[in-house]
């Protein structure tokens, strides 16, 4: 049993991890600014509202709660915004993370799980993407995450930190019990946007590009269920040894096109989704599919959700029960 500090634990992926860690008997403290996170996404008695730019607060929490591991989700994640406002991304995702790492180092907390991303790979030429694929990010979001990965490698070497950099592909779905799910403002992710269009809350889903070199002309992505992501964090945390560096891709190893995801939403909801075919979105590679063989072999992780319909089903349950997201809770 660990005393785990979960930064960004009131966010989409963080809240699913927090729920799992609590179920498995860990002591969890969520540190979240609530800028993007939701108070209702975590148990009230676990939440500490604070920003990562407040190292004194972090020091105090580490000491008072006798934290012995940190799972760091807190970050800004809008790729497009990172291009127009890189300062915001380097400041929060890199500088604030380095500050957090320093607080942890001073208090000898040497187990760290880091939310990294497929965006660190940029536009790889060969699929599937393995951990050995060169990391060449093409936007500040991916670059800020890769910079942290590099710093972590140096901390592991110099200070005997054990860390896991988990490179997520497309996080999706919601907790099967319907209590927590995806609620972003603004929402930019494909599955919730299609569901909102199916519910009539948006006029249509715009397909960003129909002329890609893919079987149906639309982009292909690897959608991984958020609960499977949460499991991977716990496994990594439980197996980390001092000085150990873990780098793992997290996807299901199968891609779905935008049109296939729309079809899955129509099948699950029984509703027709209005479609608009639009131009490509800048910076979107045609295909991104992960190989997650490494984490499967080394940690025994296996995704429970390997089918897009099963994933969409959980997202649909969440949206049906909470049409206004966390405002309904
Ligand atoms: N996408 C789309 N219309 C939208 C939002 C997304 O066609 O309104 C496409 C996007 O081009 C990408 C896929 O859906 O190929 C997944 O996009 P998302 O923003 O959910 O995740 P990303 O892959 O950018 O991390």
Residue 184 counted as domain residue: no
Average pLDDT of the segment spanning 126-133: 97
Using CB distances shorter than 6 Å, the residues near ligand 1 are 170, 188-190, 193, 205-208, 219, 221, 258, 281, 284
Residue 143 and residue 277 in one domain: no
With tokens 């608009």, the residue in question is 276
- The CATH number covering residue 106 comes to 3.40.50.720
Same structural domain for residues 235 and 316?
no
Per-residue pLDDT tens digits for 27-82: 999 999 999 999 999 999 999 999 999 999 999 999 999 999 999 999 999 999 99
Owner of token pair 């951990």: 131
Distance CA(186)–CA(223), nearest Å, equals 20
**Could you tell me if residue 182 is inside a domain?**
no
Nearest CA residue ID for atom 6, ligand 1: 190
Question: Is residue 91 assigned to a domain?
Answer: yes
Q: Is residue 217 part of a domain?
A: yes
> Are residues 135 and 150 both part of a single domain?
yes
Of all protein residues, whose CA lies closest to atom 10 belonging to ligand 1?
208
Looking at the domain assignment, is residue 34 inside a domain?
yes
- Asked if residue 159 and residue 115 are part of one domain, the reply reads yes
Q: Which residue has the tokens 């049409």?
A: 323
Per this entry, what is the length of the chain?
A: 329
Say whether both 94 and 230 belong to one domain: yes
Q: Which domain holds residue 211?
A: 190-222+253-328
Q: How far is CA 229 from CA 26, 192, 226, 278, in A?
A: 17, 18, 5, 31
Strand partners for 206: 276
The Cα–Cα gap between 298 and 308 comes to 25
Q: For all residues of the chain together, what is the average pLDDT?
A: 97
H-type alpha helices, 43-166: 55-64, 79-84, 86-89, 96-106, 140-159
Using one digit for the tens of pLDDT, what is the confidence trace for 254-297?
999 999 999 999 999 999 999 999 999 988 999 999 999 999 99
Each residue's pLDDT tens digit, 209-250: 999 999 999 999 999 999 999 999 999 999 999 999 999 999
CB 292 within 8 A of CB 252: yes
Quick one: how far is CA 241 from the chain centroid?
23
Number of domains into which the chain is organized = 2
Q: Looking at the structure, do residues 233 and 286 belong to the same domain, yes or no?
A: no
Active site residues: 141
- Domain with 207 in it: what CATH number? 3.90.25.10
Q: Which residues are CB-neighbours of 320 under 8 A, at least 6 positions away?
A: none
Classify residue 136 by its DSSP letter.
-
Q: Is the domain of 81 the same as that of 127?
A: yes
């Amino acid at each position: 049993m660990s005393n785990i500090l979960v930064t960004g634990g009131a966010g989409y992926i963080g809240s699913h991890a927090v729920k799992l860690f609590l179920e498995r008997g860990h002591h969890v403290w969520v540190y979240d600014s609530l800028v993007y996170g939701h108070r209702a996404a975590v148990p009230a008695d676990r939440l500490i509202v604070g920003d990562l730019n407040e190292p004194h607060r972090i020091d105090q929490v580490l000491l008072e709660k006798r934290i012995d591991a940190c799972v760091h989700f807190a970050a800004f994640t809008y790729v497009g915004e990172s291009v127009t406002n890189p300062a915001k991304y380097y400041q929060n995702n890199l500088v604030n993370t380095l500050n957090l790492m320093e607080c942890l180092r001073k208090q000898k907390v040497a187990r760290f799980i880091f939310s990294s991303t497929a965006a660190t790979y940029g536009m790889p030429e060969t699929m599937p993407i393995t951990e050995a694929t060169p990391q060449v990010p093409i936007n500040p979001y991916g670059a800020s995450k890769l910079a942290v990965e590099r710093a972590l490698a140096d901390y592991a070497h110099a200070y005997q930190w054990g860390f896991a950099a988990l490179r997520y592909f497309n996080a999706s779905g919601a907790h099967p019990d319907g209590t927590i799910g995806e609620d972003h403002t603004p929402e930019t992710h494909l599955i919730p946007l299609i569901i909102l269009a199916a519910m009539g809350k948006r006029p249509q889903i715009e397909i960003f590009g129909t002329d890609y070199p893919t079987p149906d002309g639309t982009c292909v992505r690897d959608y991984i269920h958020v609960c499977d992501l949460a499991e991977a964090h716990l496994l990594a945390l439980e197996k980390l040894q001092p000085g150990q560096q873990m780098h793992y891709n997290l996807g299901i190893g199968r891609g779905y096109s935008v049109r296939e995801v729309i079809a899955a939403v129509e099948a699950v909801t029984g509703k027709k989704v209005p479609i608009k075919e639009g131009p490509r979105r800048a910076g979107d590679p045609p295909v991104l599919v992960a190989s997650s063989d490494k984490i499967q072999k080394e940690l025994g992780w296996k995704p429970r959700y390997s089918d897009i319909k099963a994933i969409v089903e959980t997202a649909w349950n969440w949206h049906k029960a909470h049409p206004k997201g966390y405002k309904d809770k």
